[in-house]
Amino acid sequence: MSLIICYYGKNGAVIGGDRRQIFFRGNEENRKILEEKLYSGEIKSEEELYKLAKELDIKIIIEDNREKVRKISDSVVVGEVRSLGIDAKRRRVYATKGKCAIVDILNDTVTNQTIKEGFGIVVLGNRFLKKSAEEELKRTAKLFPMMPLEQIEDTIREIFEKLKWNPTISKEYDIYSINKYEKNFEDVVKKDIESLFKYREELRKQLINFGKIMTIVNKIVKNGEIGVIKDGKLHLYDNYVAIDKIDPNPNVFKVVEVEGNFKDGDIIVIENGNMKIKGTDERVTTKYIICHK
């Protein structure tokens, strides 16, 4: 979806990027048709995009809240385009005064990294936006090394203004510039990528824990005969366990303390989430959560 324009040279570095994300859901073949028309520039507006998506029975969600470019420090800027599916594919451009790095990342692996020095312009985005931006840059890019950074920012801003009619980029965008050289540029790039991998690992752990919690939630007993009172405690049948909390790793019990007007030999049931003595309306309570084993 994205458009990112990055300049680096002897006068500093400037980077600009849009904020749009578009998510597609539906038949894979129809999705490919829609994406091809979208990335080729054939679709001229959001209205046309929604209309064709409806005809192809593809659900689309448009969000304009992802900042794709940022400052790492007062001497390094970075931008990223990505494609998220079964695999996460990312291309990043890092820049400091007189230097840039282009990094390709597949999931948690750097598949390619190129370092360039001197001056140049890197444009990332779908093929229509990339070609359109490069056409605009042909007229002025060769003068960038002689320009103040503010003028380069204005030039990049004009390109975004000219192209923001396209439904693959947002109306709002971000532009950052720096005028300092980062002597430890490669180390800064490496650390920033490592922070991405660390974030992905933490996210994976959160998703695993969330999955465990949802499994537990889905196993909470709502109806059924769960156990019998022996020695003043509830002894659960083989198919049930009690846990002390909804947590990825709860403590598990087969015999738990309960409160109520019960006696040994009473069968305990759960009806619509309420624990009772079987055959009566006598309520029984416990601080534990009863789950299917």
Q: Position 258: which residue type?
A: V
The pLDDT, as a whole number, for residue 83 is 85
User: Who's near 184: CB < 8 A, 6+ residues apart?
Assistant: none
pLDDT of 5: 98
Q: What is the pLDDT of residue 1?
A: 66
Q: Choose among 90, 50, 101: nearest CA to 66.
A: 90
- What's the CA gap between 171 and 20, in Å, rounded? 9
2 DSSP β-pair partners: none
Pair 268, 255: CB distance under 8 Å: no
pTM, whole model, 2 decimals?
0.77
Q: Tell me how far the alpha carbon of residue 109 is from its chain's centroid.
A: 17
Low-confidence ranges of the chain (pLDDT < 50): none
- What pLDDT does residue 101 have? 98
The confidence score (pLDDT) of residue 13 equals: 98
Structure confidence at residue 56 (pLDDT): 95
pLDDT value of position 2: 85
* All residues at 6 or more sequence positions from 2 whose CB lies less than 8 Å from its CB, including other chains: 17, 18, 20, 68, 81, 124, 125, 126, 129, 168, 169
Helix and strand tally (H, E) in the chain? 5, 21
Longest dimension (CA), the chain: 92
The CATH fold assigned to 4-20+64-209 is Glutamine Phosphoribosylpyrophosphate, subunit 1, domain 1 (3.60.20)
How many of the other CB atoms lie within 10 Å of CB of 139?
A: 9
- Measured CA angle at 130 (ends 115, 26), to 5 deg: 110
Residue spans in the chain of domains classed CATH 3.60.20: 4-20+64-209
